[in-house]
Structure 1
Amino acid sequence: MHLKTILSNLLFLCAVSLRLKPLFAECESSQFECDNGSCISQFDVCNGDKNCPDGSDETALTCVSQRQHCSKPYFQCTYGACVIGTAGCNGVSECADGSDETPLRCGNEDDIRQHDRLLQGNCQDNEFKCPSGICLDKGNFLCDGKDDCADGTGFDESVTTPLVVETPLELLGCPLPLGDERPILTGEGSRILTGPITRGTVRFSCKHGFVLEGEETSYCAKKKWSTNTVPKCEVDCRKPFHPPGTEVKFVCATGFKTLSSLPDMRCMKGGYWNRGRQRCEQDCGQIATPTKSFSANGYTINNTVVPWHVGLYVWHNERDYHFQCGGSLLTPDLVITAAHCVYDEGTRQSYSYDTFRVIAAKFYRNYGETTPDDKRRDVRLIEIAPGYKGRAENYYQDLALLTLDEPFELSHVIRPICVTFASFAEKESVTDEVQGKFAGWSIENKHELQFVPAVSKANSVCRQNLRDIQADKFCIFTQGKSLACQGDSGGGFTSELQTKIFSARKTVRHFLFGVISNAPNADQCAHSLTVMTNIQHFEVMIRDAMSRSIETRS
């Protein structure tokens, strides 16, 4: 009789049974698993540097998928990695295979003639042949980490070692499984063995989270094991509460989606799941249908219209929290806002994180005036852009990221905004002539949540009105009678874009373009022109923080 287990969402599955974690890959979903089992950030893959101990993050097999994403102004290595655009022939090997500094690409006529002289039809026993026919000495050039073939084919004896060197060696001995299925091999005296195994008795075991399928010992001779089947490791799901036959049904929690449907997982008799777990990705930039209408010209809105907008409050005079700035939710526990909202001009550093509190789904600005939707979180960490110096440098790099002590539970009124980053050449043009809006609270009456429609202008256009505007800024012109007022600082300027996130068809989602930087004096509003910090200039800072947020919650 089979036990049918239905879990309401992935988060519940993790909460109920932490012991399930070893069933899946040891690396987090935001990480890349090297061939030797170690984990690195996905942002460190195919960047020209061998970050994996075995270099498996910089191979043609890994990086071939990057080819379509590597465009100007970046330089593409022959095996697919994307590196800095000035890499070609700058005297520094930026590519793991050295393909940015090859003689054919960078050499003079003498270098090319020398290269031609190396072209041989037949190679000697102490030489190896490149794909183009070049013969090179094994002792001097094999596995030296450089593209010594220098023929533009991307053949790197180090990068392609699994295909060129290791596979023939494996064929010299008894067959062994690959990847996670490969057992730990020990010989006499518990000595760890590596392939090829040509002769002798071998004991098989598996790393934590895997179970051995087959005999524990076998004898190797003449490329054959003494047992009928080759022992291999399988994911271990043989637990009292998950016996073979158990089925698990996955449903993404609110605010999370997948591109395809989530198939059921079944624990098989051999102690392994019939398929891997499909991850639910964070949904972003979508709004729920408003539960009440909002006026055409007054712009007072329901909090479902800007579910990423949050309020930042500061503990004031040891008595109560006062409103400080707006902000936007990037992940359930990461907020982006303006640096001047959390910066002490006197000490020239950020205020203490424990003086701030963030409220999501806030309809009324005043801290004490609440609705059932209000959700409060304390701040655990403040990260200010490294070049920010406040008024001294006219609010250059006016951007900060706040990590919360506990993530918000996503709902129809609390959802993160989408972010995307353009190429280096497009960082300014992407903010020109964008029809969008920003959210804030009215300075009148009950300080209700509002949004302001606006159109953006690139930095070069803004300079016609603001000659001292910094290079990381663009500006927006509000439309109609609406204005940007004190307290709107830190809020996000967003716009709708068509994208294929979570769908084969294009859908409209809201993306963040900038963060309001200039702050009018009390009870004043910025007439028409508002200065924004362009998030395109902070790609590394934002991506790293979002990656850490995802890793922490995985």
Structure 2
Amino acid sequence: MLSRNECRVQETTTFLEDMRPVNVATVSTRCVQYLNIQFTNTMRPYGHPILPSLFCIYAVLTGSILSAQNTPDRRLSCSMLVFEDLHYVNFSTSFSCPSYAFRCKYGACIDRNFKCDGKRDCIDGSDENLPECKGHVTTGSGSNCPSDHFKCKSGECIDSTSTCDGTKECKDGSDETHDLCKQNKCPSFLFKCKYGACVTKDSKCNGVKNCADGSDEDQCHTVTTVVTPIHKPSQTRPPTHPSTHPPSYPPSNKPTPAPLPPIKNKKCTVPNAEGSVYTYSNNNQTLLSPGTKVNQYDFILENCKANYYQAGPARVRGCMDNEVWTPVFTDILCLKMCSPMMSDSLNLLCTFNGDITSCSKPSQPGTKLKPSCKPTHSLPNAQDETPIELTCQQDGQWSGQLYKCVPDCGRLFINSMPLISNGNLTRYGEAPWNTGVYRANTNNSFDLICGASLISPNLAVSAAHCFWQDGQTEKIIENKGLYKVAVGKFTRGIDIKDNEFTQIVDVERIHIESKYYGSSGFHAEDIAVIVLPIKVTISIAVSPVCVDWKVRYSEQNGATGLIVGWGKTENAVLSSKLLQAKLPYIDHMTCRNMYTNGFELFVTSDKFCAGSKIGQGVHEGDSGAGLTFVHSNLYYLAGVVSVKDPNTNDSIAVFTDVGQHVSWLRNIYLNYSNDNISRTIKLLH
């Protein structure tokens, strides 16, 4: 029967060059139930704190391969005294031992240096029964006792961990004396003999003298036959190889204590820790749901779910006798990660421990985030930007929220060069609000039909007649693949991406002024707003023009405004490159009085003119383009190209006055410039 079980981690500073793995086959759970362990050290298999006993039990129960490399001192000894017939351990007799090892008769491999050292390292003692072992002496002076051994008064050298354990190993019993053991402190799970030795708690009153003085059988009311063990079996190192044939051993004359009590089928419950996932430690393919019952002596491995930060290595814990997980972890392994941070108006800088990381991915706790307005943006109402820093906290929340910057309107981010009749070539960035409007043709392509001016990342202002057809009554046109717009463009063709800032976007819908009726209404109210389904990316080549929402500015005759477009040149051909021109302003009355041939009817009350009798001007193909004027160093949209007298050869054109449509524009702007840009049309009227 089982008399005593031990599992120890031996402390040593000498490492073997080639640490041999140990494979222990099957074991009776009845035996393991009584593995009342003496904990002599703490080890960290796989980088996790775990008691040595648990690791040994795990190896025995699962048949897993133990490697001394998994222990802090790289040397592991799991020694167990088990049922006398030892039938539950099988070692392969067909497996050869390496050159540095000695092969026991029953097949196990031990270090060759362990032969004839006075200790039975083979369970059958075949390492000490060799002819060369005759005359081997275990006694000697203190100088020839290893540093980790105890020198008996009678001269023998015994393992220092074999003192004060209840069994006399020295011939004179000097390893189990009151003087030696009186200061010994026993853990709560062990029984302390009167003279100070520590034995297993179930040794008390079990009918066997486990204390050298027999104090574990004192004051026992049950009448049993008390037997004192004659000899304490030597500790054995785990065999190197598995086997299939049990060894044979001489019969034991040791009396049999009372039978072992029945084993209760104990289980532990898989924890429910946020972010953690559990698997069996020897099978990480099967996930264990929280609340799953796991058998006693099974081990589970804890890792983290995706988007959780793992604060340390994966952790192993075992289900022990008291139906609780051992070891107990009080810290949290899996921490919530903070959500990705992105902004179309802010530059975001994320760092962790001083290293730059991506803000657009989940951030681990401790990450610092510093936002700042992009060069093309600023805080609303010209506020000064105060530097702030956000921190990703342990609960997976950022310590604050990002603020929003608004695109700077009417700014030029590239220096102009002296540059559509008699117009000059322009470059991208010199009118970053300019937008090309394209319509599908019968060749499965798109033609440029008009210009427009970006007033927000998802709104552009153009002329209503660009989208009007005779007999039409709808003032809100849902686009069905007919129209596209392009921003950041320099060349005319939609299939050419001019630069890294060029963006081609579908149109979601078009709003036409409610009082526009085409030529039958003399093109009065000739203004439209193009709604995009997404916000374009603001850059040095793409940014909105300002709108004078409070109608604070007015133009004087002769003031020059800037216009760009791909209209016809003085040679009556459509320009393939974006052109710009500067046109003088002509107020409504002056413009109307210039015409007496009936064209004055088209100079409706919401119109003004721009251009001159000679020089630069706008022509066919420039419809919808915006005329801008500078106020306070910013460009403001003042007019939209509407019509031109076809019977004159000058460059003067009629523009829809944006200032007279501010209220209508504001309603659309407020409904579409928020984060939710897909609001229903019902909100607009």
- Length-normalised TM-score, structure 2: 0.41
Letter in 1 for 2:636: F
Aligned counterparts of 2:587 and 2:346: Cα–Cα separation in 1: 47
Alignment partner of 1:345 out of 470, 484, 499:
470
Equivalence for 1:279: 404
CA-CA distance at 1:4 after TM superposition: 13
Q: Note closer, same or farther for the CA distance 1:397–1:415 as it changes in structure 2 (3 Å cut).
A: same
Q: Partner residue of 2:486?
A: 359
Change in CA separation of 1:474 and 1:520 when aligned onto 2, cut-off 3 Å: closer
Contact 2:574 2:621 in 1 (8 A): no
Instruction: From 484, 498, 506, give the equivalent of 1:378.
Output: 506
Give the one of 597, 605, 617 matched to 1:483: 617
Give, in angstroms, the shift of residue 265 of structure 1. 3.6
Deviation track 1:95-150 (CA, whole Å, cap 9, x = no partner) reads: xxxxxxxxxxxxxxxxxxxxxxxxxxxxxxxxxxxxxxxxxxxxxxxxxxxxxxxx
Q: Would the aligned equivalents of 1:483 and 1:525 in 2 still touch at CA under 8 Å?
A: no
Letter in 2 for 1:289: I
1:497 aligns with 2:622: no
Q: Give the match's secondary structure for 2:661.
A: helix
The percent of aligned pairs where both chains have the same amino acid is 23
> For the Cα contact (< 8 Å) 2:491–2:576, is it kept in 1?
yes
CA distance in 1, matches of 2:567, 2:638: 22
Q: CA deviation at 1:515?
A: 0.6
Deviation at 1:417, TM superposition (A): 0.5
- Superimposed CA distance per residue, residues 339-389 of structure 1 (whole angstroms, 9 cap, x where no aligned partner): 000111233436652311101122122334552353210100110011111
Following superposition of structure 1 onto structure 2, how do residues 161-176 of structure 1 map, counting pairs within 5 Å? none
In structure 2, the partner of 1:535 is 658
User: Residues 524 and 606 of structure 2 are in contact (CA less than 8 Å); yes or no, is this contact kept in structure 1?
Assistant: yes
Q: CA deviation at 1:390?
A: 0.7
* Structure-2 separation of matches of 1:406 and 1:531: 32
In the aligned structure 2, how far is the partner of 1:287 from the partner of 1:404? 23
- What is the total number of aligned residue pairs between the two structures? 316
Unaligned runs of 5+ in 1: 18-239, 499-507
Letter in 2 for 1:248: L
Q: Is the 8 A contact 2:462 2:625 kept in 1?
A: yes
CA distance in 2, matches of 1:241, 1:535: 46
Written as runs of structure 1 = structure 2, the 5 A alignment for 1:187-206 is: none
Deviations 1:185-222 (A, max 9, x none): xxxxxxxxxxxxxxxxxxxxxxxxxxxxxxxxxxxxxx
Question: Equivalent residues in 2 for 1:58-457 (5 A)?
Answer: 247-253=368-374, 255-258=376-379, 259-266=383-390, 277-290=402-415, 293-295=417-419, 298-317=423-442, 319-349=444-474, 353-354=479-480, 355-372=482-499, 373-423=501-551, 429-430=554-555, 432-443=557-568, 444=573, 447-457=576-586
Render the CA deviation track for 1:133-174: whole Å, top value 9, x for unaligned.
Answer: xxxxxxxxxxxxxxxxxxxxxxxxxxxxxxxxxxxxxxxxxx
Q: Secondary structure at the match of 1:344?
A: coil
Task: Report what 1:23 is aligned to.
Answer: none
- Given that 1:494 and 1:511 are in contact with CA atoms closer than 8 Å, whether structure 2 keeps it comes out as yes
1:460 corresponds in structure 2 to: 589
Change (3 A) 1:441 1:479: farther
Structure 2 Cα separation of the partners of residues 514 and 278 of structure 1:
33
The 1:318/1:347 distance shift into structure 2, 3 A limit, reads farther
RMSD of aligned Cα (Å)? 3.9
Asked if 1 retains the 8 angstrom alpha-carbon contact of 2:364 and 2:392, the reply is: no
Task: Give ranges in structure 2 of 5+ residues lacking alignment.
Answer: 1-310, 312-335, 351-361, 678-685
**What is the DSSP-based 3-state SS (H/G/I as helix, E as strand, rest coil) of the residue aligned with 2:611?**
strand
| Distance in 1 between residues matched to 2:394 and 2:341, nearest whole Å | 27
Q: Which residue of 1 aligns with 2:343?
A: 10
Which has the larger displacement, 254-263 or 405-414? 254-263
Instruction: Provide the rounded CA distance (Å) in 2 between the counterparts of 1:261 and 1:343.
Output: 45
Aligned match of 1:474:
608
SS of corresponding position for 2:637: strand
Counterparts in 2 of 1:480 and 1:451: CA distance versus 1, 3 Å: farther
Q: Deviations over 1:35-58 (max 9, x none)?
A: xxxxxxxxxxxxxxxxxxxxxxxx
Closer, same or farther: CA 313–276 of 1 in aligned 2, 3 Å: closer
Q: Which amino acid aligns with 2:343?
A: L
SS at match of 1:363: coil
Counterpart amino acid of residue 524 in structure 2? Y
TM-aligned CA deviation for residue 5 of structure 1: 9.4
Higher helix share: 1
Distance 1:270 1:407, change over 3 A: closer
Distance 1:509 1:395 in 2: 29
The higher relative CO (CA closer than 8 Å, separation ≥ 6) is in: 1
Larger Rg: 2
Distance 1:14 1:305, change over 3 A: closer
| CA–CA separation in structure 1 for the residues paired with 2:574 and 2:661 | 37
Shift of 1:325: 0.4
Give the letter for the 1:408 counterpart.
V
TM-score (norm 1): 0.50
3-state SS of the aligned residue for 2:508? strand
- Partners of 1:368 and 1:520 lie apart in 2 by 33
Distance 1:397 1:548 in 2: 21
User: What is the letter of the counterpart of residue 460 of structure 1?
Assistant: M
Closer/same/farther in 2, CA of residues 525 and 293 from structure 1, 3 Å limit: farther
Tell me how far 1:478 sits from its aligned partner.
3.9
Q: Distance in 2 between matches of 1:479 and 1:6?
A: 61
Amino acid at match of 1:358: V
How far 1:479 moved relative to its partner? 7.8
C-alpha deviation, 1:13, in angstroms? 8.5
Report the counterpart of residue 28 of structure 1 in structure 2.
Answer: none
- Tell me, yes or no, if the aligned pair for 1:254 and 1:410 is still in contact at 8 Å: no
Q: Is 1:548 the equivalent of 2:671?
A: yes
Q: Secondary structure at the match of 2:373?
A: coil
Instruction: Call closer, same or farther: CA 1:323–1:526 in 2, change over 3 Å.
Output: farther
Q: For each residue in 1:4-61, what CA deviation from the matched residue of structure 2 results, as whole angstroms up to 9, or x when unmatched?
A: 99998634989999xxxxxxxxxxxxxxxxxxxxxxxxxxxxxxxxxxxxxxxxxxxx
